[in-house]
């Protein structure tokens, strides 16, 4: 390919955007993600030799590596421009290793946004490869491999194959299990509130009882409440004080990765995974008026820092659209939390003058919704404060004191553009409008309303509140949250019900086994400290080998103890306090069999009693009486015998009555299950997501979750990567006898294909 300098990015989508601005002076190509990784079938870490990782070319990537060597040709300058984060740094290092050549120079390029000026400036100010950032990525990868590849086999041996443990995923499961147990242990307490319906100037309004004899009102039961109601029958209600206060409210900072995920989950009903997929598309470049353009800055960031020029540009737009009153005299900058890496800016539009209305014709509905959120939040961050007039009326009725409040927006400020979910809720609460009143005025009492309440248990985690909890506790990094949340659902450790997570039975069991054998690994503080260690490796404050050695010495002991002492769910099982109803001598134990978890008598084989079980709302295990299988009028597809309805791990299923001669089974619940693929529906005007589903006969297909409103469906598995040839929104995985497994475009006219090697 000649000796032109070569620019290498990690995503094929970026190639077109960058080529446009660099012209013919450079060749531009892509690694299509990581090209090297640790091997799948072994741990790949030489623990005895300083934890040296053994990297190999990822199966299926040999062709990509050959293409990289070919296009590099005789080029003396290679500009390595994968994403500006630790993973991107690892890709840059691995690419430099495969392209190393005498006399060749490697330059690290960081594209924080994909606009003409930013691209040209980044090439001009390229740096050396960052050793410490690469080591931080290595340390994370090695730690995750040491934990996952050494604890998971213990779970396979003690519980069942296919289970996995992870340095961060197991902590996320623990957080959900702990919350569920807090809910189960919660005992509601009764309390009462009292409201007075009062009239002033022919207008009714409500006031709440706040204080009794100067102390905060506490009404524990109905008897006390009725006593207060009786007292108030003969009292006059007189305004003792009117408080007026103007509150200044500041806008929130621009989004970082975690806050973007939380707000998109709440406002747009996106998953964390979907949010990151769409944000990546907005960052990498959208065709606008024939030109590819990156619409937002890099979307994996913990920093609220913004460039001065961006703030000035926002101020100019605000001045034009809203006038001087809505601008601020100088840019508003936000402080980062302690220890936040400040390599990237916050997530903001690359140009405020590319408004959501301007780009609407070029974006899908999902892309537009997310861009709108990012654009508005950033613009609002550079707008004047909102002014809220708060009015509080204090009303005396003998020894009882009531208050009524209301607020009006005196000046919208930033609220003219954007309000968060919390701000919208606050505005709703304060929307009461009170009639004009003066002090010492006697009010007309219409009625007194006592209301019974009970304290509420802590709520289950939603995806948004789990992201917030992980971030606040320093667990993992926001860029990994989408993958963590997907993994703990795929492994069936947690279920999502009405948008909230609860543990499954296998989630409880695995969590409890790991808590006993690996308390440090599941400890929130320990995991957060490990994240700090990784940050300190990146800033050269700590040494990689030192951090790994300090972790591994105690971990190695725990591994040996767990291998010897962890309860085997296949043999002994986990004890319960339920006496066996059959032999009445031994207790029942939770065990795991081919149909999942069940209760069995500890006296086996002398006593063969077993049954299914469930947990009640207090988390207590209750044995379920075994029902005999029900005969159906359906015939077995294999042998023609009648089918029975049985109950197993995943609910009811059909089984052949000729078992064990015929082992045919068919799920009765599976067709209703759907697993997210993280791919947005490509149908125009549809905001749905493509889910993995099953037909009535158990065949897998992929269809939109908005069915029957949208009937988009396909047989091949969608992969959430845009087509590098035609930029179609995603590609699909296909398998044929002749070609094996490969990726191909969803557009029939596109010829893109990429061979994959089966694991």
Q: Which two tokens stand for residue 167?
A: 């340095």
Q: How many angstroms separate the CA atoms of 394 and 385, rounded?
A: 28
Report DSSP state, residue 388: E
Residue 31 phi, psi dihedral angles, 5° rounding: -85, -10
Q: Which two tokens stand for residue 239?
A: 């305004």
Task: Encode 602-623 in three state secondary structure.
Answer: CCCCCCCCEEEEEECCCCCEEE
Query: Based on the number of CB atoms within 10 Å of its own CB, is 519 exposed (0-12), middle (13-18) or buried (19 or more)?
Result: exposed
Q: Which of 55, 298, 481, 702 is catalytic?
A: 298
Integer angstrom CA distances of residue 732 from 278, 281, 706, 723: 18, 18, 20, 9
Q: How many angstroms separate the CA atoms of 348 and 330, rounded?
A: 18
Report DSSP state, residue 693: E
Q: Which two tokens stand for residue 326?
A: 């809505």
Question: Is 371 annotated as catalytic?
Answer: no
Give the list of residues 6+ apart from residue 688 with CB closer than 8 angstroms, or none. Answer: 680, 681, 704, 705, 706, 710, 712
What stretch of H or E contains 589? strand 587-593
Q: How many angstroms separate the CA atoms of 312 and 353, rounded?
A: 12
Question: How many CB atoms are located within 10 Å of the residue 526 CB?
Answer: 14
Integer angstrom CA distances of residue 738 from 474, 735, 755: 48, 9, 11
Q: Smallest Cα–Cα separation from 27: which of 12, 9, 7? A: 7
Q: Smallest Cα–Cα separation from 647: which of 625, 627, 633, 677? A: 627
Helix, strand, coil tally for the chain in percent (to 5): 35, 25, 40
Give the list of residues 6+ apart from residue 692 with CB closer than 8 angstroms, or none. Answer: 674, 675, 676, 677, 700, 702, 717
Q: Smallest Cα–Cα separation from 417: which of 334, 349, 295, 318? A: 318
Give the list of residues 6+ apart from residue 670 with CB closer than 8 angstroms, or none. Answer: 650, 694, 698
What stretch of H or E contains 484? helix 478-490
Q: Which two tokens stand for residue 686?
A: 């549809």
Q: What does 57-99 look like in DSSP terms, one character per residue?
A: EPTT-HHHHHHHHHHHTT-SEEEE-S-SSHHHHHHHHHHHHHH
Task: Encode 189-208 in three state secondary structure.
Answer: CEEEEEEEEEEECCEEEEEE
Supply the angle between the helices 272-284 and 12-22 in degrees, to the nearest 10: 20
Say which residue the tokens 């997530």 belong to.
347
Active-site positions read: 298
């Amino acid at each position: 390919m000649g000796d032109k300098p070569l620019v290498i990015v990690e995503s094929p989508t970026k190639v077109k955007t960058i080529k446009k601005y660099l012209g013919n002076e450079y060749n531009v190509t892509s690694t299509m993600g990581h090209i090297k990784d640790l091997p799948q079938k072994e741990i790949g870490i030489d623990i005895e030799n300083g934890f040296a990782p053994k990297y190999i070319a990822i199966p299926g990537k040999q062709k990509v590596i050959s293409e990289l060597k070919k296009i590099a040709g005789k080029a003396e300058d290679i500009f390595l421009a994968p994403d500006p984060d630790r993973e991107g740094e690892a890709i840059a290092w691995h690419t430099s290793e495969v392209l190393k050549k005498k006399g060749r120079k490697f330059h690290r390029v960081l594209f924080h946004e994909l606009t003409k000026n930013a691209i040209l400036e980044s090439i001009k100010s390229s740096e050396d490869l960052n050793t410490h950032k690469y080591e931080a990525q290595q340390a994370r990868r090695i730690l995750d491999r040491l934990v996952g590849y050494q604890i998971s086999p213990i779970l396979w041996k003690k519980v069942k194959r296919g289970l996995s443990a992870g340095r961060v995923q197991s902590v996320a499961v623990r957080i959900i299990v702990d919350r569920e147990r807090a809910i189960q242990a919660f005992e509601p307490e009764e309390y009462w509130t009292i409201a007075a319906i009062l009239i002033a100037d022919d207008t009714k309004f409500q006031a709440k009882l706040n204080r009794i004899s100067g102390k905060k009102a506490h009404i524990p039961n109905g008897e006390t409440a009725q006593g207060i109601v009786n007292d108030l029958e003969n009292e006059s209600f007189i305004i003792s004080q009117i408080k007026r206060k103007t509150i200044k409210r500041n806008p929130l900072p621009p989004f970082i990765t975690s806050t973007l995920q939380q707000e998109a989950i709440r406002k747009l009903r996106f998953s964390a995974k979907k949010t990151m997929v769409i944000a990546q598309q907005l960052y990498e470049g959208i065709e606008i008026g024939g030109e590819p353009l990156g619409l937002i800055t890099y979307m994996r960031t913990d920093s609220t820092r913004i460039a001065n020029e961006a703030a000035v540009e926002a101020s100019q737009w605000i001045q034009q659209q809203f006038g001087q009153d809505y601008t601020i005299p100088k840019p508003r900058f936000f402080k980062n939390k302690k220890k936040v890496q400040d390599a990237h800016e916050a997530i903001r539009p690359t140009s405020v003058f590319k408004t959501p209305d301007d780009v609407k014709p070029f974006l899908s509905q999902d892309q537009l919704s997310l861009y709108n959120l990012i654009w508005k939040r950033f613009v609002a961050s550079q707008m004047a404060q909102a002014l809220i007039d708060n009015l509080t009326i204090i009303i005396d009725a003998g020894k009882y004191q009531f208050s009524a409040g209301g607020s009006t927006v005196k000046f919208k400020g930033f609220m003219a553009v954007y309000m968060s979910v919390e701000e919208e809720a606050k505005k709703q609460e304060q929307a009461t409008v009170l009639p004009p009143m003066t002090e010492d005025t006697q009010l007309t009492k219409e009625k007194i309303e006592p209301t019974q309440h009970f304290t509420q248990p802590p709520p289950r985690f939603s995806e948004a509140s789990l992201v917030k909890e992980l971030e606040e506790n320093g667990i993992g990094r926001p860029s990994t949250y989408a993958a963590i949340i997907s993994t703990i659902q795929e492994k069936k450790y947690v279920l999502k019900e009405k948008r909230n997570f609860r543990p499954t039975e296998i989630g409880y069991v695995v969590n409890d086994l790991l808590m006993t054998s690996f308390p440090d690994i599941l400890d929130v503080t320990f995991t957060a400290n490990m994240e700090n260690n990784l940050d300190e490796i990146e800033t050269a404050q700590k040494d990689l080998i030192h951090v790994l050695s300090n972790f591994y010495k105690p971990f190695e002991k725990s591994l040996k103890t767990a291998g010897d002492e962890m309860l085997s769910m296949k043999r002994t099982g986990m004890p319960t306090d339920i006496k066996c109803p059959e032999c009445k001598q031994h207790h029942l134990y939770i065990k795991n069999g081919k149909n999942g978890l069940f209760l069995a008598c500890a006296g086996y084989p002398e006593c063969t009693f077993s049954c299914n079980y469930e947990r009640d709302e207090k988390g207590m295990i209750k044995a379920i009486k075994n029902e005999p299988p029900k005969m159906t009028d359906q015939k077995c597809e294999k042998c023609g015998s009648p089918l029975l309805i049985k109950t197993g791990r995943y609910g009811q299923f059909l089984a052949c009555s000729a078992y064990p001669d015929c082992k045919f089974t068919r799920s009765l619940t599976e067709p209703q299950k759907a697993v997210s693929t993280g791919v947005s529906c490509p149908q125009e005007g549809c905001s749905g997501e493509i889910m993995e589903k099953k037909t009535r006969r158990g065949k897998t297909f992929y269809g939109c979750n908005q069915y029957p409103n949208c009937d988009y469906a396909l047989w091949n598995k969608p992969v959430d990567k845009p087509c590098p040839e035609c930029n179609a929104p995603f590609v699909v995985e296909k398998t044929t006898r002749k070609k094996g497994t490969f990726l191909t475009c969803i557009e029939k006219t596109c010829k893109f294909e990429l061979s994959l090697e089966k694991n």
